[in-house]
């Protein structure tokens, strides 16, 4: 794919996001985080060259290697994976713009403790398992609001920005929609929250229609 073809491909994705956004309302803004876990630093550089600025990695070691390889670019790095506690120091050394995946009180407390020690803060989202799937991390919907409040009060170094979820992993659009609507209803009850992160390459239009204002797009942005 030439650079021109790539730009046209990217523009078509933007157009799809625009149409979904306008089905919500004229003022609804949607941010794209490019999930770059399956591509190398050169692919990130190519997408940056045609206008993408926020990139997300699932593994701390991949974020570290790509951030080093691309240190000449002012990329906005997001951490969008499940964080193991033994990787906390490495992640904090990278000063990510946003962590998407606080999925337990134990992790929140461990992060807050390290942040306190280093005199840092971290912008973060709390993950909800809105599809109630055993394979997914995050708090159950019925406990989410209580746990969000608890993290906000007990872990002041974590600057909570809102909610993150992954849509139901099924073929039935009605069930996927229901998982997104559950997430959005919780987001609407979070005082001061600004980010509702849901929607990936296969379901981002539906997620936006349900109120997502941040989508994590991977394979669709990096055609092979």
Q: pLDDT tens digits, residue range 86-103?
A: 999 999 999 999 999 999
Predicted TM-score (pTM) of this structure:
0.94
Residue labelled with tokens 């398992």: 129
CA 82-85-87 angle, to 5 degrees, is: 80
We find that the CATH architecture of domain 3-221 is Alpha-Beta Barrel (3.20)
Q: Which residues have CB under 8 Å from 172's CB, separation 6+?
A: none
**What confidence tier does 81 reach under pLDDT thresholds 50, 70, 90?**
very high
**What single string gives the DSSP state of each residue in 140-169?**
-HHHHHHHHHHHHHH-TTEEEEEEE----S
Q: Which residues have CB under 8 Å from 195's CB, separation 6+?
A: 98, 125, 161, 162, 163, 164, 213, 214
Q: pLDDT tens digits, residue range 164-183?
A: 999 988 888 899 999 999 99
* pLDDT value for 89: 94
Q: What's the whole-number mean pLDDT along residues 35-49?
A: 95
Domain boundaries, the chain: 3-221
Q: pLDDT tens digits, residue range 137-155?
A: 999 999 999 999 999 999 9
Could you give the angle at which helices 141-154 and 173-187 cross, rounded to 10 degrees?
A: 30
* pLDDT value for 223: 81
* pLDDT value for 25: 86
**What confidence tier does 201 reach under pLDDT thresholds 50, 70, 90?**
very high
Identify the burial level of 80 via C-beta atoms within 10 angstroms of its C-beta, where 0-12 means exposed, 13-18 middle and 19 or more buried: buried
Cα–Cα dist 212/187, whole Å: 10
* pLDDT value for 136: 87
Q: What is the mean pLDDT of the chain?
A: 95
The 10 Å Cβ neighbour count of residue 95 is 10
Q: What's the whole-number mean pLDDT along residues 25-45?
A: 94
* pLDDT value for 215: 98
Comparing C-alpha atoms, which of 141, 142, 114, 115 is closest to residue 128? 141
């Amino acid at each position: 794919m030439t650079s021109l073809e790539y730009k046209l491909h990217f523009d078509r994705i933007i157009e799809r996001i625009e149409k979904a956004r306008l089905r919500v309302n004229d003022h609804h803004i949607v941010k794209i985080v490019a999930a770059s876990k399956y591509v190398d630093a050169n692919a990130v550089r190519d997408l940056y060259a045609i206008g993408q600025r926020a990139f997300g990695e699932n593994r701390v070691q991949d974020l570290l290697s790509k951030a080093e390889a691309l240190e000449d670019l002012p990329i906005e790095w997001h951490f969008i994976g499940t964080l193991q506690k033994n990787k906390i120091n490495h992640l904090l050394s990278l000063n990510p713009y946003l962590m998407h995946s606080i999925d337990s009180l134990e992790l929140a407390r461990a992060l807050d403790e390290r942040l306190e020690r280093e005199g840092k803060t971290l912008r973060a989202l709390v993950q909800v398992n809105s599809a109630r799937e055993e394979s997914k991390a995050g708090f159950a919907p019925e406990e989410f609001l209580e746990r969000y409040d608890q993290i906000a009060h007990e872990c002041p170094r974590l600057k909570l920005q809102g909610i993150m979820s992954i849509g139901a992993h099924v073929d039935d659009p009605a069930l996927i929609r229901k998982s997104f609507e559950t997430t959005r209803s919780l987001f609407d009850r979070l005082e001061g929250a600004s980010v509702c992160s849901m929607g990936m390459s296969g379901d981002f239009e539906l997620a936006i229609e349900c109120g997502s204002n941040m989508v994590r797009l991977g394979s669709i942005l990096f055609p092979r």
